[in-house]
Amino acid sequence: MGLDKTKKKNWIDGDTFAIKIENYSKEYDGRYIILIKTSYNTNKESSTYLYFRAKLTKNAEIPSIEEINELEYIKNEITPYEFRLYPVNMRETLKEAIERIDSENIFYKDEYGYLNGYSVLLHMKRGINYNNFIYLGNYNFAPPKDEYVSSTSYWIYSLENTSDTKKTFFINCLLSDYENNNLKKSHLYTKEGNESFLKTAREEVEMLYAYAEKCIKEKQAKKEKYSLKNGWGTDLYECDLAIDIEDDFTELYNVYMNKKMTKDELVQEMEKRYKNILNDSISGPVFWIILADQQWPNQVLTEYTKAKALEGIEQDLVNWKDKEGYSQRKEELDLLKEELENYIFK
């Protein structure tokens, strides 16, 4: 016996459903939205948030699989080409970001300068009746060639009805997306709207990267300053090594947030990058102290890092014992020690 597809816990990629359109308009009522379960490598999908791609049938008959394959996907998000540079990496200039991102990805910009998104994130909350999801089968439909998955989009579709009508909210949204983007009725496809949208996007990206470049220069100046002090000051980040560790952690944390790395793998990669200093009696403790100080506020501290950092704190205090500023250094380390000892692992 097959799995009961009226229960979303049994849905897998490729499962295809037809949902009849009702109470929308004479033009669309009776036709069907086709939803195809899919996955994207993001941190948004869970048991209550599932991704699909959507299509719209041409008439009031459920199409064959061959006919579904010929239907165009609904474009539910258009993104200015400039926004491919998000999220802004505070370690790169705009020129560096363009060179890296464009060398690592293939983008399909349309004639309006837009990247097209097709991902439909549905909020599958408890209490929703899925009997109107007519299961058609599991099929391997080719994704749209020009698909762009935005890393900054948080638009979620609700399966519930709107408050003042019997219209299903996500059907309402998808049909609106279809008219705006597939049929190009949105003002963003007019000459004036298009130029304004792209201009605003370009200015926003340039502004963010101008700030990033400012941060890069300030960080470099700080590293040079503390390098001249022969290693470090009393503050945890008053050394060029600490600043480098912070930068590398930020880079790997973004990888972790995109679900491409576990907490343990993050630590392992950091160890790999700094393997040459881990056994050094001065630099080694600093590595674990800074790594732990970066991990705990971001809720990615591991038992391993905690133990190594607590050992590192004791060794670092030994290193500072006979130096000016010992009391200030101890105060800094005591604060970190308290955070680590009180940290609750989840």
Q: What letter does residue 189 receive in the DSSP assignment?
A: G
Q: CA–CA separation, 89 vs 196, rounded Å?
A: 26
Q: What is the pLDDT of residue 6?
A: 77
Full pLDDT tens readout for the chain, 346 residues: 467 887 788 889 999 999 999 888 899 999 999 999 998 876 666 777 889 999 999 999 999 999 999 999 999 999 999 999 987 777 789 999 999 999 999 999 999 999 999 999 888 777 677 778 999 999 999 999 999 988 666 567 777 655 545 557 889 899 999 999 999 999 999 999 999 999 999 999 999 999 999 988 887 887 777 664 455 688 898 888 898 899 899 889 888 887 778 999 999 999 999 999 999 999 999 999 999 999 999 999 999 999 999 999 999 999 998 888 899 999 999 999 999 999 998 7
Q: What is the pLDDT of residue 1?
A: 46
Of 280, 207, 273, which is closest to residue 246 (Cα–Cα)?
A: 273
To the question of pTM greater than 0.85 for the whole model, the response is no
Token digits of residue 199: 């201009």
Q: Is the dihedral of CA 291, 292, 294, 299 positive or negative?
A: positive
* DSSP string for 95-155: HHHHHHHHHH------TTSEEEE--EEEE--TT---TTSEEEEE--PPPPTTB---SS---
* 292 neighbors 306 (Cβ within 8 angstroms): yes
Residue 87: cis peptide before it, omega within 30 degrees of 0: yes
CB atoms within 10 A of CB 261: 17
In sequence order, the 6+-apart residues with CB closer than 8 A to the CB of 197 are 80, 188
CB atoms within 10 A of CB 143: 11
Token digits of residue 35: 């939803």
Q: What is the pLDDT of residue 92?
A: 87
Q: CA–CA separation, 330 vs 84, rounded Å?
A: 45
294-317: string of b/e by CB count within 10 Å (b at 16+)? bbbeeebbbeebbebbbebbebbb
| Dihedral, CA of residue 301, residue 305, residue 307 and residue 310, to nearest 10 | -90
* Partners of 180 in beta bridges: none
